[in-house]
Amino acid sequence: MKTLTTLCVLAALLAACGNQPPQPDWKANAGSALGAYSDAYLKGDSAIAATEFARARSEVASTGRPDLVAHAELVACATRVASLEFDDCPRFAALAQDATPAERAYASYLGGQWQGLDVALLPEQHRAVAQGKGTLAAIADPLARLVAAGVLMRTERITPPDIAVATDTASGQGWRRPLLVWLGISLKRAQAAGDSDGAARLQRRIDIASAP
């Protein structure tokens, strides 16, 4: 699993074919729509994100398999965590009984419910985070890195270097939604420390990123 190991989904939907029979259209369509959803959401394009997610959910729902719909809802939940928007993944929770143990573990990880969590069930890039080892910078995939940053923020384990890594990641990808939140966090820290020059610089970045 690759990007959707991070999000617990895409690898399953986009399984390679090789000499195997052609994959059903819904798999490619759902995988494409989920990727477009995450990118649009992180960029702050809410209308496009809603349209793409509805398309992805419709494609997986056409199979009549609640486990696949649960996959899609977990992607949406992880994308919100990457944007520092925290909830209890209610739409995934409604389908959790049909999800795999690994997906339920990932949902618990996203929710900051780490007590009794079987870390071995998590996507590989998140295991060190859940164990309090490693750094965000060691996570190669930008989306996985931001998901992990969101989880660390939610569990109050975030450090100043982590904030810098998360900010640089969002900026480098052009993901406006999480970028503005991380810049806002850094701005408050600079103001609390009496760093007027740093606060002014951060405010200029916020003004640029938030402009239409």
Chain segment 118-176, per-residue pLDDT in tens: 999 999 999 999 998 878 999 999 999 999 999 999 999 999 999 999 999 999 999 99
Tell me whether residue 211 is in a domain.
no
How far is C-alpha 124 from the geometric centre of its chain's CA atoms? 15
DSSP state of 109: H
Name the domain count of the chain.
1
pLDDT for the residue numbered 20: 66
Average pLDDT, the chain: 90
- Residue-wise pLDDT for 100-132, tens only, equals 999 999 999 999 999 899 999 999 999 999 998
Tell me whether residue 198 is in a domain.
no
Task: Using alpha carbons, list the distances in angstroms from residue 171 to 70, 72, 78, 137, 211.
Answer: 30, 26, 19, 14, 15
Tell me whether residue 208 is in a domain.
no
Structure tokens that stand for 178 in this block:
């999480």
Rounded-to-integer distance, Cα 108 and Cα 88, Å = 9
Tell me whether residue 130 is in a domain.
yes
Rounded-to-integer distance, Cα 158 and Cα 160, Å = 7
Tell me whether residue 8 is in a domain.
yes
Task: Using alpha carbons, list the distances in angstroms from residue 21 to 24, 28, 29, 169.
Answer: 9, 14, 17, 38
Tell me whether residue 154 is in a domain.
yes
Tell me whether residue 187 is in a domain.
no
Tell me whether residue 184 is in a domain.
no
Q: Across residues 67-94, what is the average pLDDT?
A: 96
- Domain extent at residue 118: 3-167
pLDDT for the residue numbered 13: 45
